[in-house]
Structure 1
């Protein structure tokens, strides 16, 4: 009984049938009683008052459910040529409870009755496959690509008019919304009866987007069988445990041809909760502006009537208020100043950064840095997927490790990436330094990292996309090496640091190990850092990173992309990838390096050119490697690849040269050289000058 009272207090009715004949219906979840909702099939209430359309049932079972407003809404009136206009806003989430879940979806529906639940799977509970069902209009949010219904993908919006083959479709990948992310998604559906037009908007944000994902014209009269129809939602699964939850719903309709609906939207979420329950503002009266004006008028007239005493009171109160504001300003300023001192003036060092985010905002965006939001691990930090509550923008939030070295690397990353601008470099949106944490906020790349696309995806990356990725990364490195004011040496070029957007454009990220040097100036020796399989031999020996060491790492990435093999393979693999491809080249069997998953779906001339570029970049002698500007031209076919010898060249280092280089390295490193490693690091020892130098490779 107690739980029932909680639910009913959460849902109270505002259904309006006023004396105004133009009015039709208005209600929302915040004021709707439980008795006004009709739950069908698998639909049920949850403990927090939301409605779940599907149940957590074992694979491979399928299910469907529907929730409807229990009173039919008038959509058509005799003698009125136009159907009713309506505007509805709803928030929902789709959660996969099992890795084998393959989808289903949900839909906003206009239905002729309140008894029927359609089939599961691709029918989304809207209609059935055995008998055609007329009088149904729906906006579907489909998480399953069903060839039978000509779906474009498993992440789209569709307008369904008496058919599961959508009359119009919007691809949600184009606006960065993932239905199956588990995050709350907001949608607005606006239909104009006089104009016979519908617009559908979708966003993570509480603010309605400027552009609709679907905009179409159709006469609703042709698709409704009754003057009054039921409105609500349906959802389904197909052999999965995908659940579909309606968190919030508001609806308005009218027959007034001049009606302009106020945009339905939720208020700001509860500030202190990382995953707040839906709380929404009550509808404002349409004449609120007039009311405010009238209220001002009354205040002015009252002052005139009450005379000077009232004026003196107002002035005194105003002076008190002004003094309070000054005090508050001084207090806030002092607190801010002292806070800045505690942060060791970090803010002044980062003043050129794009934006400073608050810790509270980023914690809310990542749901309290939930482990389920982790999408990767960079150098000295963990990367989380986040949704900014202020804009709905999807971002990647990199959280600095708490070690002192991690802080140093993050500050290095900030100082470098904050000044770089290139289409193939990951874009830094901003930063945060609060509560002893350093956080970096980047654009999120929808297709994740290159290594995951190559080795962990069920989809085979096409040669067209692979070549585009290589050209993009080469362009970014050419910019870093030759077009920046100071040359930037990345030092950690590898496939896991190459991110892919929704159309597989590549962006190079993770500048935690990067270094800036003046052009044509010899770099200082450092502790060698990077990942085995990508590291140039001279870098391992001397610890001096140059643009040529980046070129070698890129060559390993090229061979990784063309072959579909990791740079270091164990357990019966090819071992060292670079060595293996050099061996194929020596035997005259270069095309044996091609990823067999590509079949014959590639341009042989482009492929051969790419493999030769990879070998040219992997030349053990740094002086024999091309520049990255030259690599771009080679990959594009604008210039020839230099002759790559059949026999792998050797590293041209004399013993005396090597000893001098190592001696210089030891002298330059001084106390930077560490004699121990952590569990997350591998080590390689090279001797010289009578002592051992440990070179650290960060995995």
Structure 2
């Protein structure tokens, strides 16, 4: 259809039912029988909706306009306008992770990650100027790594999921000028407009509820020359992703115009949104439903007594102060059903703080790990719940996410992401028939744990001290990435504050020597445990080992002795059989020694440790004449350092007679 005819039709108020045949504009008011390109979890539903993602976890989906658009004219991106109608549905107060409109040079997003990357980028392409992707994100998860402002915002993105400009979702009322909030995960359809002006290079993003005309004042406005981002021929589309908490992301309509406003969307012709978690009712169901209701009401009188008795089985402990933590509270019945009654066949393991069971949540079908912990509700449980809920907000690829909790009398249940490959120690020590890990994976796990600790110590709103870093608390996901788990001992402190003294907790062999004197857990006590962890991963040996004389020897002293003797490579796990990068192994071993130094001022912080691992800084040298165990004893005020220095042979090299085992 020629442009003049299309323009004439628009002036006459005629609606365009589908995509116009011209290359400069189109409008979809519903997507029934439309030839869009789809991938991942995306599908066109019989009602005409595009479902980008459903209730599956860690899913991504894309919907593209089938043919590329010629954006450039004389080497400059032309003015364009987009409008679309979307809706996000979730059974949870939170949903993940949102959706985005994008313009990209191609339709291949096979290497993109879901979760916070919205199905557009991965660890390597995020922030790469050669991605040539312009996007508008509708984000429902606050990710501290990406400097998100909250868990309900709109952002303008250039080659990254870190927005160059963002604002909480909402719109400005034309009459009053007051800003009115909108909730992206409201189960309601909303409309978004995106406009780019070629002359001023201005980008405007506006949104409003479905039946309100486009507000005059945009939600976001910035200037950026998109000619440096959008390629001459480029594809347009929508991308969405889910994380550990799911959400259903729908697209109801879409229109586009170059050098003209996007054609109007016919609101009256939009498909209906489905009932959350339910399929559309058939006519037969509508007829039989009243009959079924009558039968249920008649039967209710008979089964009420049975149900009351049954519900007593799932009785929980509630207190008024827990109302503020509502979204993180899960029902005991759901956890009971998820774990098949905490049956032995679902038991994953037993630790010092309780038993852990595998489960599948009944509605979301999310795989979880449920830890049952005994507690005394009179001793700080309110503060403990506050801490675990705060930890539940953390978002980092190297942390096991704490999804929520449940309380019964004398029992606390903590619900985590399920890690299919279990704990790292089973691979290091051959438990459960696990094969060993090669060098590349071990070094990757060390760097991942370092990144997670750096996030806990420096990049969160509060300083989080884990206090129990060790191989058995590092879990491996389906790609064998290391994730820090078991926050049962974690403490939260404000940045810049002095940690309070408390009773010593942790595992023998990983405890920093200053803990015995002060009882104060600090980020540097985590660094000490991380140093021991590095040696454990590389040497394939526990922190406390037996020497040839059946005397207990600290692993750190054994490695230190080999360093002094010039035989550091001999400490690498023999199961690697020489198939490892000797330079990387020696670097990591030296860092392990440096981190586990008995003197706190000799240890690096986690940011410096990451710089060492990334080879951005040269590793410091360590030249003590005594073992680290002897140096640690020198810090005890009750011992005379002169005696130790004069009689090291009598006290033994790195031997321990008073410490045994770990929990």
Q: Smaller-chain TM-score range?
A: 0.3 to 0.5
TM-score, with length taken from structure 2: 0.47
- Structure with larger RCO (C-alpha < 8 A, sep 6+): 2
